[in-house]
Amino acid sequence: MTERIIPIVDQRDPLPLPAGGAFTPGAHIADTRGRALRDLRVSVTDRCNFRCTYCMPREVFGPDYAFLQRDQLLNFEEITRVVRLFKALGVEKVRLTGGEPLLRRNLEGLIGMLAPLGLDLTLTTNGSLLTKKARALKAAGLKRITVSLDSPDERVFQAMNDAEFPVSRVLEGIDAAAAAGLAPIKINMVVKRGVNDTSILPMARHFRGSGHIVRFIEFMDVGATNGWRMDEVIPSSEIVRMISAEMPLEPAAAHYTGEVAARWRYADGAGEIGVISSVTQAFCRDCTRLRLSTEGMLYTCLFASKGNDLRALLRSGASDADLQAGIARLWQARSDRYSEIRTEATAREPRIEMSYIGG
Ligand code: SF4
């Protein structure tokens, strides 16, 4: 087996086992900045069939990249147990991510195991397998979905996603998700100056009045392989101005504290868009997210460079109480605020890849 190419720091520290329980089941636990643990992102695979340039550039994630082997991944029983434990720690929302989560075999089986927990369960996908899977996901208990789509234009789509896959089939997948009754459907568009900024207005026009919500995402320095530069970032304020000049927008209130996207509704009632502004309007102050990698490492920030090994404890017979106390301790010690301290220099620091922990 070829040596696994790890272009990033990949250190695992054993999860600290605290003395005594440090949480009240069902109650929110708070980190050092008073932020509650509310959202868990679960990556179910490190593999993807696209090679988005801002996430999984082909020159790094090429044919020699040794992805994780099946026995290294948390199995569905382990994921379900972990999610159940997090629910008791106050988690209300679970997002399944990847890589591309629909590549994980029988993902609807996992959704069927998680749905009875009664959490707000959603999933982020590149849409390539949605036409095939939408009905099964819905039947298994998934209620809503987010699709990553960086342009409705084939040439621009290829420039951003380097996917040997036609954009028309992603659009068909979105229609299949709507037909299956998944709602709301959110569309995530990462905007990179000089690559797909010409698609901002076509994207807004395409989904306006559809009921689907496009979220325009500032290009971020995630991971250590996407060659991020500040001058390739288009600030959300500029995106809102551009759209509003043609289709007037007005600000809309957040649904809840910690909502990632700032909401803007069309003044004529034709729906809404969102903007996610990690670079120009950091939202770390209300960040309530913890990430679980597909092999069971916990990360307290998207821009982390260190994870804590939950899998080792899971597989060493640790009790539910020990696991929960450890997770509680990890969160209570959390102080992450990367987007508030980002500089061109910090952007070059080695960190975990987004494809490994999910966006
Ligand atoms: S940079 Fe880290 S702490 Fe800030 S919002 Fe993103 S994930 Fe949360």
The residues spanned by each domain of the chain are 12-357
Q: Give the Å distance between the CA of 174 and the centre of ligand 1.
A: 28
Pocket test for ligand 1, best of 276, 289, 341 (most atoms within 8 A of CB): 289
Q: Give the Å distance between the CA of 169 and the centre of ligand 1.
A: 32
Question: CB atoms < 10 A from the CB of 223, how many?
Answer: 24
| Each residue's pLDDT tens digit, 118-157 | 999 999 999 999 999 999 999 999 999 999 999 999 999 9
Residues 3-14, mean pLDDT to the nearest whole number: 48
Q: What angle do CA 189, 193, 196 make, to 5 degrees?
A: 45
Domain over 12-357 is classified CATH 3.20.20.70: yes
Kindly tell me if the per-residue pLDDT of 350 is higher than 90: no
CB neighbour burial string for 82-117, b if at least 16 within 10 angstroms, e if fewer: bbbbbbbbbbbbbbbbbbbbbbbeebbebbbbbeee
Give the integer Cα–Cα distance in Å for 119 and 80. Answer: 12
DSSP E strand boundaries for 247-304: 249-252, 262-266, 272-276, 289-292, 297-299
pLDDT of residue 70: 93
Q: How confident is the model at residue 4 (pLDDT cuts 50, 70, 90)?
A: very low
| Each residue's pLDDT tens digit, 294-338 | 999 999 999 998 899 999 999 999 999 889 989 999 999 999 999
pLDDT of residue 7: 43
Q: How confident is the model at residue 275 (pLDDT cuts 50, 70, 90)?
A: very high
DSSP 8-state class, residue 185: E
Residues flanking ligand 1, CB < 6 Å: 278, 283-284, 287, 289, 301-303, 336-339
Residue given tokens 């000049």 in the structure block: 245
Q: Look at 25 and 10; give whichever has higher pLDDT.
A: 25
Q: Give the Å distance between the CA of 196 and the centre of ligand 1.
A: 25
Q: How confident is the model at residue 1 (pLDDT cuts 50, 70, 90)?
A: very low
**Could you tell me if residue 296 is left (phi over 0), alpha (psi between -120 and 50 degrees) or otherwise beta?**
left
Q: To 10 degrees, what angle do helices 200-207 and 236-246 make?
A: 60
Q: Give the Å distance between the CA of 332 and the centre of ligand 1.
A: 15
